[in-house]
A = this chain, B = another copy of it.
Amino acid sequence: MPIQTFIAFDADDTLWPNQPHFDHVELQLLRLLAPYADEPTINARLYDVQRANMQLFGYGAKSFMLSMIETTIQLSGGAVVGGEIQQILDLGKELLRFPIEPLPDVVEVLTELKLRGHQLLVLTKGDLFDQESKLARSGLGDFFDYVEIVSEKNEPTYQRLFTRLEATPANFVMIGNSLKSDILPVARLGYPAVHVPYHANWIHEHVPAEQLAEVNFHTVTALREVLDYVR
């Protein structure tokens, strides 16, 4: 393995837990909407509304709030009143200020990689304001030489990053929990990627197995194994 100059980390569910907070809010939404629909109906409708709004809203907590509200209006047949909508707003605001605790190994791994002289990057998609706030709340900001917040992590996004950094497959590695956003586009461009699975996954990030079979990437069971992979 050649020496990596640039080590890029995904943020949500790689550096800190994120999906569990969304799952928790979704669970409270299910409770709130119990008078209007059963759980599978709510889940299916929320997913449909999110997908329909995606190209207009993008990712993130504010988009999720707006889609929760729209789902509630639809499932209640318009009968929902202000107080219930306010509860959804308050749930959503929790997503914008929950404390950010780094996941196990994160501080140790970043400290060691920094000591070894690597350039560390955060590469995350979602809402600019929200992601900046989470990085600040995490206390991890000083580890990173570059912070990139993008609207979508696909091949063109990575290609632009590689061009700007003058990064090659010999001096770059991407580390993250999302096969769709962190692994597949990087591996397809021929760059090394390390998958660190996380227990909670967003259905939107699911990747069909046959797409994964076409590319090479490395998987670790704990983040600290990255220290052996990256020399």
Contact = CB atoms under 8 A, between A and B. Distances in A.
Contacts of A127: 58, 127-129
Nearest to A146: B164
Interface stretch (A72-80, A198-206, A221-229): A72-80
Q: Is the interface of A mostly helix, strand, loop or mixed?
A: helix
A40 to B, nearest CB: 22
| Max chain B C-beta neighbours (<10 A), residue from A78, A79, A96, A129 | A129
A87 to B, nearest CB: 10
A58 B151 contact: no
Interface in A28-77: 56-59, 62-63, 65-66, 69-70, 72-73, 76-77
Contacts of A80: 81-82, 85
Contacts of A65: 66
Contact of A82 (B56, B76, B92): B76
Interface string A102-141: 0000000000000000000000000111101000000000
Interface residues on A, range: 35 or more
A78 B97 CA distance: 25
A73 B72 CA distance: 15
A70 B89 contact: yes
A208 interface: no
